């Protein structure tokens, strides 16, 4: 058993505060972004109807979830809209394709304790919620057993003890689901707990929320990040330039002014962004919104998403055009995650 240090004792003494904070997590008045989440579209008929498209129905094992600010960026009447294709279920999702599995990244094998996953040196993933504000059809965690990984208030002491005992860890990546689905109160509590671990200096948040519901960037969230001693990094998840509108850009500007490093990762997706011109426009629009392109991910082979796959040769050809047409700082790294490798693998 790991001995309790001063820091550990300090955290232990706040466990009661945690229970209180988590118990009162649902504010009596939900924030505007929470109301938007509640009003999201949750079935295919409603989605198609809202976009003036003919109805079609099929079974899907991954529900539809589309918030209205994202819906507003989808072109009405266009079944091939690149944003619609990211959120509309397809009968192809039920095809059984060899090599496409429920847990393509084998993340369970890298769990240090409930909620804490370490895949790479120096940084750990903290699964803080299984909720999202949008259900992306290609999501590599679409079958993820969140109920097994999501920490309860009893697990927090173990998580903090794990972090204290490993001084090689200096960055905690909040993941999910979408970590910004947590209320501002809960997020602040978690950041405060991480601050008590002396060797942690960076908190990274991977989130699609600032893009799909830019109202999520609240004053309280900004204050929490500004007040923290941890350097904050936000990795947004934007796949297509049409996802970036003025409201998203304004949210990003607020974060940039709060000294948050803004990076973007995209997934390379067939018939959505497998086009050098689309990706070049995306890089330029990201830069205008103060975000640097970071990764372009090859699709993880998750069951139900094979129809989004782009062959490696095509991906490399797209990258050659990007390298020849953009300054180096606007060219994302084309990578694939291979379970067990010490870092993302360049293609
Ligand atoms: S927001 Fe992220 S975790 Fe949630 S469905 Fe989309 S890709 Fe998956």
Lowest mean pLDDT among 168-172, 319-323, 338-342: 338-342
On whether residue 77 sits in a domain, the answer given is no
Read off the tokens for 12: 């232990």
pLDDT of 244 > 90? The answer is yes
265 alpha carbon – ligand 1 mean position (Å): 12
User: Does the CB atom of residue 203 touch ligand 1 within 6 A?
Assistant: no
Digit-coded pLDDT (tens) for 38-88: 999 999 999 999 999 998 878 888 999 999 999 999 999 999 999 999 999
On whether residue 71 sits in a domain, the answer given is no
On whether residue 223 sits in a domain, the answer given is yes
On whether residue 244 sits in a domain, the answer given is yes
296 alpha carbon – ligand 1 mean position (Å): 16
Q: Which domain holds residue 227?
A: 6-38+103-346
pLDDT of 341 > 60? The answer is yes
User: Does the CB atom of residue 85 touch ligand 1 within 6 A?
Assistant: no
Domain count, the chain: 1
Alpha-carbon separation of residue 77 from 49, 52, 74, 199, 258 (angstroms) = 10, 5, 9, 53, 39
On whether residue 49 sits in a domain, the answer given is no
Q: Domain containing 237 — which CATH number? A: 3.20.20.70
User: Does the CB atom of residue 134 touch ligand 1 within 6 A?
Assistant: yes
123 alpha carbon – ligand 1 mean position (Å): 21
User: Does the CB atom of residue 141 touch ligand 1 within 6 A?
Assistant: yes
On whether residue 19 sits in a domain, the answer given is yes
On whether residue 89 sits in a domain, the answer given is no
Half-sphere exposure of 50 (CA within 13 A, CB side): 19
298 alpha carbon – ligand 1 mean position (Å): 15
Angle at 234 between CA 21 and CA 120, to 5 degrees: 95
Determine which residue's CA is closest to atom 8 belonging to ligand 1.
Answer: 139
On whether residue 92 sits in a domain, the answer given is no
User: Does the CB atom of residue 267 touch ligand 1 within 6 A?
Assistant: no
């Amino acid at each position: 058993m790991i001995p309790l240090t001063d820091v550990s004792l300090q955290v232990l003494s706040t466990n009661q505060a945690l229970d209180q904070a988590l118990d009162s997590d649902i504010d009596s008045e939900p924030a505007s972004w929470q109301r938007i989440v509640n009003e999201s579209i949750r079935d295919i008929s409603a989605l198609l109807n809202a976009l003036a498209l003919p109805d079609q129905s099929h079974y899907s094992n991954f529900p539809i979830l589309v918030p209205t600010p994202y819906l507003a960026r989808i072109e009405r009447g266009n079944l091939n809209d690149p944003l619609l294709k990211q959120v509309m279920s397809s009968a192809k999702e039920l095809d059984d394709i060899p090599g496409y599995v429920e847990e393509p990244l084998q993340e369970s094998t890298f769990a240090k304790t409930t909620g804490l996953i370490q895949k790479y040196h120096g940084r750990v993933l903290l699964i803080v919620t299984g909720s999202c504000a949008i259900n992306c059809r290609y999501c590599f965690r679409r079958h993820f057993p969140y109920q097994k990984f999501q920490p309860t208030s009893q697990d927090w002491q173990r998580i903090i003890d794990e972090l204290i005992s490993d001084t090689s860890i200096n960055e905690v990546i909040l993941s999910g689901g979408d970590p910004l689905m947590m209320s501002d109160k809960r997020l602040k509590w978690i950041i405060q707990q991480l601050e008590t671990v002396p060797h942690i200096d960076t908190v990274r948040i991977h989130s699609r929320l600032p893009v799909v519901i830019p109202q999520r960037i609240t004053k309280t969230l900004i204050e929490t990040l500004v007040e923290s001693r941890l350097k904050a990094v936000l990795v947004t998840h934007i796949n297509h330039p049409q996802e970036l509108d003025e409201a998203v850009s304004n949210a990003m500007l607020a974060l940039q002014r709060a000294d948050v490093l803004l990076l973007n990762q995209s997934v390379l997706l067939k018939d959505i962004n497998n086009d050098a011109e689309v990706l070049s426009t995306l890089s330029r629009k990201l830069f205008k919104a103060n975000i640097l392109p970071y990764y372009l991910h090859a699709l993880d082979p998750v069951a139900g998403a094979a129809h989004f796959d782009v062959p490696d040769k095509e991906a490399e050809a797209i990258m050659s055009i990007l390298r020849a047409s953009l300054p180096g700082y606007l060219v994302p790294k084309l990578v694939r995650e291979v379970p067990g490798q010490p870092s993302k693998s360049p293609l």
